Amino acid sequence: MSQENAQSVLNAEPLSDADQQIDDAINKEYSAGFVSNIESDTLEAGLSEDVIRFISGKKNEPEWMLEWRLKAYHQWLEMEEPEWAHVDYPKIDFNEISYYSAPKSMADGPKSLDEVDPDLIATYNKLGIPLHEQQMLAGVAVDAVFDSVSVATTFRENLKEAGVIFCPISEAVHEYPDLVKKYLASVVPVKDNYYAALNCAVFSDGSFVYIPKGVKCPMELSTYFRINEAKTGQFERTLIIAEEGSEVSYLEGCTAPMRDENQLHAAVVELVCLDGAKIKYSTVQNWYPGDAEGKGGIYNFVTKRGIAHTNSRISWTQVETGSAVTWKYPSCVLKGDNSVGEFYSVALTNNYQQADTGTKMIHIGKNTRSTIISKGISAGKSSNAYRGLVRFNAGADGARNFTQCDSLLIGSECAAHTFPYIESKNPKAIIEHEATTSKVSEDQLYLCQQRGIDAEKAVSMIVNGFCKDVFKELPMEFAVEAGKLLEVSLEGSVG
Amino acid sequence: MTSTPLHAAIAAGSTLNSRTATSHATTKIADMQNAAAHAWAQTPWPTRTTEAWKYTPLKALEKGEHFTPAAKNTLTSDALKPFEINRLEALTLVFIDGHFCAEQSDDLTQLPTGMTIEHLSDASDLGQFNKAAGEHATLFGELNTASIDAALVISVAKNAQVIQPVRVLNIASANKPCLANARILWQQAPHSKATLVEHFVSTQGSHTFTNSITELFVGENAECEHYRLHLEDEANLHIGGVYSHVHKHARLNSFYLAMGANLQRVDVVTQFEGEGAEAVNNGVYLPRNKQLVDFHTCIEHKVPHCNSHETFRGIIGDSARAVFNGRIHIHKDAQKTLAELSNKNLLTSNKAEVNTKPELEIYADDVRCAHGATIAELDALAMHYLRTRGIGQAEAQVMLSFGFINELIEQLNNAAIVEYLRPVIAQRFANKSELLDSLTNNALI
């Protein structure tokens, strides 16, 4: 074969067009990566007792809260950074991080939305968060957390009528100290893990939700988190208490600007689901994942856990597309009889992203049931691990678990792992676990292309189909957003 | 952890080193032993926070009394009778507490064509000794290498088709706690075919801690049939490893049975060294009373186009515990891999416990991998069906339990082994003799 011929054969390779599109798609920028020019009060980097006193002081916290934080800080000092996760990143210097940053105009405290810095509102608009009540998608109440403080909480009046409390946790400390004292760290103890302890010491804000007995929350509650300042860490704390027979659906979304250095996000979320209550917690996590060379991005080290009492139900749904490193295991402690835990997850990693995520289902009560559906997609040079624990204690008669974790590999340089820990001490409990790993089927791809759908679109369709079981668990607006996010993050990683 | 057992074991290792080096090979062995003794001393003792030993406490060993090297013991031919496997017609090599026992073994001068058996210390070269085990060295692997006493090298020549199975009978017989290191190096040259049966048993009143390592090298296009049967009494302890290299287009078919020993841990590492190879690792574990069985298996898919299949099933009763860790590791270039793993467990008592972890670690995209794990009690529907046919509760339970395990036994290629195992396993479930007979006979049909 002459050289010319050889060249033409190469050119005729069926996917080369698609490759081009794919490259274009990969180069698509992180759309939430802008920086807002907002003057802010940022504490100097470093962590000490004084920093904690400063944060506590800024929030006018009562003495008990400060003491609690200091105790947590001292416990944290004695703990060691966990290294068991299947992720690899340079050691974090906790003295390089600033632990508090607040937009300056917040210092006087806005009384209503009209007083909020217009730039800030513009930022949220840019992100597509319908902060203004008039612009809201029907019935979504938003608590927006910007760097370290809660900026605005919408629809508070409407919620109050129903008896629902939805406010920044810094406010709850003042207004509902009994509830906070009773439930804070009741699900995730201070010493639970390294990052949880750190969060206890320095958390600056977050959301507090209280649903009274028998109340079905009239609207979806939602929080948006955004890290804006450079070299700051974000440590938010969410506490949701659903009293007997109540119901709530809570959504959470996150973004950050594009920066070269890595930033730390270590949140704690606690759910208290009392007898017969239902909590549905959905997350779309789109922190800045770093650039194509793996530079920058957010370290997302999050502890999320719920306690389910008798006949209650906790449902975690997460779509994880962002962050350079993710370390996150939303868990359910199924303490009460007949309680139900669910975990639906889509985790997508591209470029140099690393994710070690999964769940823990601890079955303590009788006839407790749990379902785990995890879909991992790895592309580029990323690494995506599912790590889960299903434990049946001796008293968990009639308990059931079904776990399915599927991984999809796109490209020959990525990695997918599954580490499920399954422990049973009860012969009357039934556990089923299955996992599969495969690549995007060439047959499916071929079929789509044959029907005139280009490779990029076809992959997106196939991946969306792969994640269908999880997306259908998301509230409608989020499902649409999640689908789009996947498209942007992934499109065309097929070569 | 006190340093007593460590010191004792190192001492055991170093006495061996004092052996005068008579050839190049023995010098090499001495070097290897020194290095291993050093590594053993350096490796921290496993605790609950050691991932590989998370669910398997080593309390029984921590007293240190199990680290006294086992003395040479002899047994009469009559004492060996109960350990025979009828109709297997194997070439039998007998080890008593880790010491090779030539008198009770078959004549090594009359071996099947193509097979050679020699002591490691007499071997002209070390061949592939410690090549597979060394790559995945564990604390106890180092201990074994540090004190290799009677390691045997069994080699099968190129193109040799050895029909007669080789049975390595390891008998635990010491009446005081002691350490028996057992070591086999099994090498098959290209295009050969052979069968290895590792048979671990014990005499009454024995308290041996067996620390065994078997290395299997299956050459290009070779076929290896491997059985490892753990049938020791509950007063014994066993920690062992089977490390294999499977070369191009070769096939390894392994079966593990764990019914004995109070603490039993087996590390199985199967590594593909050439394309187009296949490995099957199946196993059954039936711990009862206070036994603990721990299987840590790992399939290293280092090269493309290899298939691996793994099925482990267990029934855990009384206060027994089972640990299963099944890892499939697909390396970066191992495209077109097919790997499957299944682990099913039946818990039959409130005090029994099972911890299973099927792991996938995948660095190549064009692969198909699947694993599944279940833990449950006997299927209520199947139970009901049997009851409607007039079968009593207890009997139905036995039938279903036996059936669950027998599915794997029936798949074995060697009829003599199947015949040998069926009553052994049936006995675990059925106390009544008529039930036992019916099980054994029905299964025969």
Interval A82-132: pLDDT, tens: 888 888 888 888 888 888 776 655 444 445 555 555 665 665 565 555 544
Tell me which chain B residue has its CA closest to the CA of residue A415: B363
8 A C-beta contact, residue A146 and residue A257: no
Greater pLDDT, B184 or A147: B184
Mean pLDDT along residues B372-383: 91
C-beta separation of A100 from A235 below 8 A: no
* Domain interval for residue B403: 393-445
Do the beta carbons of residue A266 and residue A276 sit within 8 Å?
no
% of chain B exceeding 70 in pLDDT: 91
| Confidence category of residue A277, pLDDT binned at 50, 70, 90 | very high
3-state secondary structure at position B406: helix
Q: Do B359 and A414 touch (CB under 8 A)?
A: no
What is the nearest CA distance from B380 to chain A, expressed in angstroms? 11
A392/B359 Cβ within 8 A: no
Handedness of CA A160, A162, A165, A168 (dihedral sign): negative
Q: What is the mean pLDDT of residues A291-300?
A: 82
Q: What is the C-alpha separation between A413 and A493, in angstroms, rounded? A: 11
| A479 at interface of B, judged by CB pairs closer than 8 A | no
Q: Is A427 on the interface with B (CB under 8 A)?
A: yes
pLDDT digits (tens, 9 = 90+) for A341-380: 999 999 989 888 999 999 999 999 999 999 999 999 998 8
Q: Do B372 and A434 touch (CB under 8 A)?
A: yes
What phi and psi values does residue A430 have, to the nearest 5 degrees? -125, 125
Task: Give the model's pLDDT for residue A132.
Answer: 47
> Given the DSSP bridges, would you call strands B321-330 and A415-424 parallel, antiparallel or unpaired?
unpaired
Question: What's the gap in Å between the CA of A425 and the closest CA on chain B?
Answer: 4
Mutate to test the interface with B, among A83, A366, A425 (most CBs of B within 10 A): A425
Lowest mean pLDDT among A53-67, A339-353, A360-374, A476-490: A476-490
How far is the C-alpha of B399 from the C-alpha of B430, rounded, in Å?
Answer: 9
Question: Do B189 and B279 have their domain in common?
Answer: yes
Q: Does A125 touch chain B (CB under 8 A)?
A: no
Contacting A with CB below 8 Å, chain B residues are 51, 55, 332, 335, 345, 347-377
- How near does any CA of chain B get to the CA of A34, in Å? 34
Domain boundary residue among B353, B373, B392? B392
Given a cut of 70, whether residue A326 has pLDDT beyond it is yes
Q: Tell me the HSE value of A109 on the side-chain side, using a 13 A CA sphere.
A: 7
Q: What is the ipTM of this complex?
A: 0.86
**Higher-scoring residue by pLDDT: A258, B406:** B406
Closest CA in chain B for residue A495? B365
Which pLDDT does position B439 carry in this prediction?
A: 66
> Quick one: average pLDDT of B315-320?
92
Q: What is the pLDDT of residues A379-408, one digit of tens each?
A: 888 999 999 999 999 999 999 999 999 999
Show residues of chain B in contact with A429, CB under 8 Å: 347, 375-376
Using a CB-CB cut-off of 8 Å, the residues of chain B touching A372 are none
Within 8 A of B347 by CB-CB distance, chain A residues are 424, 426-427, 429
Predicted local confidence at residue A67, as pLDDT? 92
- Tell me the C-alpha distance between B82 and B79, whole Å: 7
Is B155 in the same domain as B280? yes
Please report how the helices A442-450 and A455-466 are oriented relative to each other, as an axis angle in degrees rounded to 10: 130
Between A and B, how many CB-CB pairs are < 8 A? Answer: 114
Closest CB from A415, A422, A423 relative to B363: A415
- Total Cβ atoms within 10 A of residue B267: 22
A119-133, A158-172, A292-306, B318-332 — which one is most confidently predicted on average? B318-332
pLDDT for position A13: 41
Alpha-carbon torsion angle A193, A199, A200, A206, nearest 10? -130
3-state secondary structure of A424: strand
CA B112 – CA A433 distance, rounded (Å)? 46
Cβ distance A426 to B358 less than 8 Å, yes or no, reads: no
pLDDT at B435: 64
CA distance A415 to A492: 17
Kindly tell me if the per-residue pLDDT of B220 is higher than 50. yes
What DSSP character marks residue A147? T
Q: Which two tokens stand for residue B391?
A: 């079968």
The reply to whether residue B371 touches residue A418, judged by beta carbons under 8 angstroms, is: yes
| A437–B360 CB contact, under 8 Å | yes
Q: How confident is the model at residue B173 (pLDDT cuts 50, 70, 90)?
A: very high
CA nearest to B352 within chain A: A425
Residues of A in contact with B363 (CB under 8 A): 415
Residues of chain B contacting A432 with CB distance shorter than 8 Å: 372-374, 376
With tokens 């460590």, the residue in question is B6
- Which residue's structure tokens are 């006493």? B149
Mean pLDDT calculated for residue range A434-439: 89
Contact predicate B181/B211, CB 8 Å: yes
More confident residue, A223 or B326: B326
Q: Which helix (H) or strand (E) holds B278?
A: strand B278-285
Global pTM value = 0.86
Closest CA to A270 of A245, A248, A303, A310: A303
| Per-residue pLDDT, B127 | 80
My answer on whether B255 and B309 are in the same domain is yes
Asked whether the beta carbons of residue B374 and residue A433 sit closer than 8 angstroms, the reply is yes
pLDDT band per the 50, 70, 90 thresholds, residue A43: confident
Query: How near does any CA of chain A get to the CA of B279, in Å?
Result: 19
Residues B300 and B176 both lie in one domain: yes
Which single residue is written with the structure tokens 């624990």?
Answer: A389
The span from the CA of A50 to the CA of A55, in Å, is: 9
A contacts of B374 (beta carbons < 8 Å) = 430-433
Domain match, B301 and B439 both: no
Q: What's the CA gap between B321 and A482, in Å, rounded?
A: 43
**Mean pLDDT value across residues B387-411:** 90
Q: Please indicate, yes or no, whether residues B381 and B426 belong to a single structural domain of this protein.
A: no
User: Domain check: are B78 and B127 in the same one?
Assistant: yes
Nearest to A419 among B359, B376, B377 (CB): B359
CB contact under 8 A, B364 and A84: no
Q: Are residues B58 and B136 in the same domain?
A: yes
Q: Compute the C-alpha angle B92/B96/B102, nearest 5°.
A: 50
Q: Would you say how long chain B is, in residues?
A: 445
Q: Kindly report the number of other CB atoms within 10 A of residue B441's CB atom.
A: 11
Same domain for B249 and B370, yes or no, is yes
pLDDT digit string (tens) for B66-113? 888 888 888 888 889 999 999 999 999 999 998 898 888 998 888 999
The answer to whether A387 and A357 are in contact (CB under 8 A) is: yes
A394 Cβ under 8 Å from any chain B Cβ: yes
Most distant CA atoms of chain A, gap in Å: 84
Residues of B in Cβ contact (< 8 Å) with A434: 370-373
Locate the chain A residue with the closest alpha carbon to B342.
Answer: A434
Cα of B333 to nearest chain A Cα, Å: 8
Percent of chain A with pLDDT over 90: 38
Per-residue tokens: A191: 């010493």
Look at A428 and B355 and tell me if their CB atoms are within 8 Å.
Answer: no
Q: Could you tell me if A411 lies within 8 Å of chain B, comparing CB atoms?
A: yes
What's the pLDDT band for B311 if we cut at 50, 70, 90? very high
Nearest Cβ partner for B365 among A423, A433, A439: A439
Q: Do B388 and B402 have their domain in common?
A: no
Is the separation of the CB atoms in A332 and A343 below 8 Å?
yes
When divided into structural domains, chain B yields a total of 2
Query: What is the distance between the alpha carbons of residues B402 and B425, in angstroms, rounded to a whole number?
Result: 8
Among B296, B337, B362, B374, the residue to mutate for chain A (most A Cβ within 10 A) = B362
- Mutation to test the A interface, candidates B325, B328, B360, most A Cβ within 10 Å: B360
Does one domain contain both B300 and B345?
yes
- Per-residue CA distances from A3 to A11, A12, A155 (Å): 12, 14, 70
Contact A110, A104 (CB under 8 A): no
Numbers of helices and strands, H then E, in chain B: 10, 19
Is residue A84 less than 8 Å (CB to CB) from chain B? Answer: yes
**Confidence at residue A218, expressed as pLDDT on a 0 to 100 scale:** 84
- Which residues of chain B does A423 touch, with a Cβ-Cβ cutoff of 8 Å? 55, 353-356
Instruction: Tell whether A428 is within 8 A of chain B (Cβ).
Output: yes
A457 class by beta-carbon count within 10 Å (0-12 exposed, 13-18 middle, 19+ buried): middle
Would you state the pLDDT for residue A310? 96
- Chain-chain contact of B375 with A437 (C-beta, under 8 angstroms): no
B376/A429 CB distance under 8 A: yes
Does pLDDT of B373 surpass 90? yes
Query: What number of other Cβ atoms are within 10 A of residue A484's Cβ?
Result: 12
The better pLDDT of the pair A491, B214 is held by B214
Q: What is the mean pLDDT of residues A28-43?
A: 63
Structural contact between residues B267 and B296, judged by C-beta atoms closer than 8 angstroms: yes
Residues of A in contact with B345 (CB under 8 A): 424
Based on C-alpha coordinates, what's the Rg of chain B?
A: 21
Mean pLDDT of chain B: 88
Q: Which of A361, A417, A433 should one mutate to test binding to chain B, selecting the residue with the greatest count of B CBs within 10 A?
A: A433
Q: What is the mean pLDDT of residues B15-31?
A: 60
The average pLDDT across B228-234 equals 93
Do B366 and B427 fall into the same domain?
no
Residues of chain A found within 8 Å of residue B348, distances taken between Cβ atoms: 427
Q: Identify all chain A residues contacting B350, using CB atoms and an 8 Å cutoff.
A: 394, 426-427
